[in-house]
Amino acid sequence: MSARPYTGRWRRLAVVMPPYAWLALFFLVPFAIVLKISLADQAMSIPPYTPLIAGGHLLASTANYRFLASDSLYARAFGNSIWFAAWATCGCLLIGYPLAYGIVRAPLRWRNALLLLVILPFWTSFLIRVYAWIGLLQDNGLINRLLLDIGLVHAPLPLLNNSFAVYVGLIYSYLPYMVLPLYAALEKLDPVLLEAAADLGCRPSQAFRRVTLPLSLPGIVAGALLVFIPMCGEFIIPDLLGGPNTLMIGHVLWDEFFTNRDWPVASAVAVAMLVLLVLPMGLLRRYLTGERA
């Protein structure tokens, strides 16, 4: 009933169509193709997979999926991914929450500078930040050298190419992504509420537990869901920092594709990831954060 600007039908179409068409072609359609190829077989051809229809027959088969289900490697990689991502998310929360909270409580003139400091790593290369840990964690790296010099240990600790390094890498790389939603949620918190709590007899620690924490829960949930899925599918960190026991599903996909040149199996892994990981978590995220449809 209103004569608002921009609601002319042609204008709306002109605005919505370009991104819609682009995404439909370059984001949606590819998934269909992934599905199709996951049903194909590896072949010595270019491209290295069997066509869908040859000689009048449908060449699709679920062989790849049965293969994934039968080989425990994949189940282990899946399990690892979720395990690592879950604990790393907690780690991000443990380190990120005090950071965000501290920034909100800091004197106003410091706040911008502190925020800038948190955001700065986010703008620098992800790859390089992960790489930086190699120098720190390796046997003759900085940390071990420090520990040896102090005399805390007598032999270098194995800090690289194992689960420990993967945890460190995950927490480190995704920390800024956790801090920002937390900061946003904590910043919205009206300090008047804490004053009211104090007025009614709450000690600071109680006030934190009963007022601040519950009210910052949306921020916690938002941050956790924001980092969990990408962490599951992470490739660079397990590749550079991980070892034989830190198989993660993103890395498995990469290997299948680049090392084994088995596009169909890689596609099957992708579909499995989508169905078992991305879609459930995506729906959960929409449900928990109440995103508008």
Partner 1 sequence: MTGRLSPFLAAMMTLGFLFLYGPIASVIVYSFNASRLVTVWAGFSTRWYGALLANEQIKNAALTSFEIALMAATGALILGTLAGFALARYRRFAGRTLFAALVTGPLVMPEVITGLSLLLLFVALEQAIGWPHGRGVPTIVIAHITLGMAYVSVVVEARLASFDRSLEEAALDLGAKPGKVFAAITLPLIAPALVAGWLLAFTLSLDDLVIASFTTGPAATTLPMVIFSSVRLGVSPQINALATILLVVVAVAIVIAGRAVARTRSSAAR
Partner 2 sequence: MKRYPDAPAAAVDGVSLALATGEFFALLGPSGCGKTTLLRLLAGFERPDAGRILIGGEDMASVPPYARPVNMMFQSYALFPHMSVADNVAFGLRQEKRPRPEIERRVAAMLDLVKLGPLAQRKPGQLSGGEKQRVALARALIKEPKLLLLDEPLTALDRKLREETRFELVRIQQRVGITFLLVTHDQEEAMSMASRIAVMDQGRIAQMGAPDQIYERPANRFVAGFLGAVNLLPARVATAAGGVLTLDSAEAGAPLKVEHERALAPGTAVTVALRPEKMLLGTTANPAWPNALSGIVRGIAYRGEASDIEIELATGKVVRATVANADRPARSALTIGQPVFLGWRRDAAVVLET
Residues 4-33 that bind partner 2 (CB under 8 A): 4
Q: Map tokens 């169909």 to a residue.
A: 264
Measured distance CA(253)–CA(266) in Å, rounded: 5
What DSSP string runs through 42-53? B-SSSSSB--SE
Closest separation between CB of residue 49 and partner 1, Å? 9
Q: What are the beta bridge partners of residue 53?
A: 58
Q: Which is nearer to partner 2, 5 or 290 (CB)?
A: 5
Contact region for partner 1 (CB under 8 A) — 54-62, 68-76, 137-145, 214-222? 137-145
Maximal CA-CA distance, the chain: 82
State which of positions 209-238 bind partner 1 (CB under 8 A).
226, 229-230, 232-236
Strand, coil or helix: 58:
strand
Angle, CA of 214, 220 and 223, to the nearest 5°: 165
Measured distance CA(180)–CA(213) in Å, rounded: 16
Choosing among partner 2, partner 1, none, which partner's interface includes residue 30 (Cβ < 5 to 8 Å by kind)? partner 1
- Asked whether position 205 contacts partner 2 by CB under 8 A, the answer is no
- Asked whether position 24 contacts partner 1 by CB under 8 A, the answer is yes
Which tokens in the block code for residue 45? 């051809």
- Give the residue, chosen from 159, 175, 222, 224, that forms a contact with partner 1 under the rule CB under 8 A: 175
Q: What is the DSSP letter of 161?
A: S
Q: Residue 96: exposed, middle, or buried by beta-carbon count in 10 A (0-12, 13-18, 19+)?
A: buried
State which of positions 88-127 bind partner 1 (CB under 8 A).
95-96, 98-99, 101-108, 111-112, 116-121, 123-127
- Asked whether position 151 contacts partner 1 by CB under 8 A, the answer is no
Q: Which is nearer to partner 2, 3 or 46 (CB)?
A: 3
Measured distance CA(234)–CA(237) in Å, rounded: 7
**What HEC string does 116-173 produce?**
HHHHHHHHCCHHHHHHHHHHHHCCCCHHHHHHHHHCCCCCCCCCCCCHHHHHHHHHHH
| Number of residues engaging partner 1 in binding (CB under 8 A) | 96
Choosing among partner 1, partner 2, none, which partner's interface includes residue 1 (Cβ < 5 to 8 Å by kind)? partner 2
Closest separation between CB of residue 288 and partner 1, Å? 13
| Number of residues engaging partner 2 in binding (CB under 8 A) | 4
Q: What is the DSSP letter of 285?
A: H
Measured distance CA(199)–CA(190) in Å, rounded: 15
- Asked whether position 28 contacts partner 1 by CB under 8 A, the answer is yes
Contact region for partner 1 (CB under 8 A) — 57-65, 69-77, 213-221, 258-266? 258-266
Closest separation between CB of residue 9 and partner 2, Å? 15
- Give the residue, chosen from 34, 63, 86, 211, that forms a contact with partner 1 under the rule CB under 8 A: 34
- Give the residue, chosen from 2, 72, 205, 259, that forms a contact with partner 2 under the rule CB under 8 A: 2
CB-CB contact of 163 with 185 (8 Å): no
Measured distance CA(216)–CA(183) in Å, rounded: 9
Choosing among partner 1, partner 2, none, which partner's interface includes residue 24 (Cβ < 5 to 8 Å by kind)? partner 1
What residues line the site for partner 2 (CB under 8 A)? 1-4
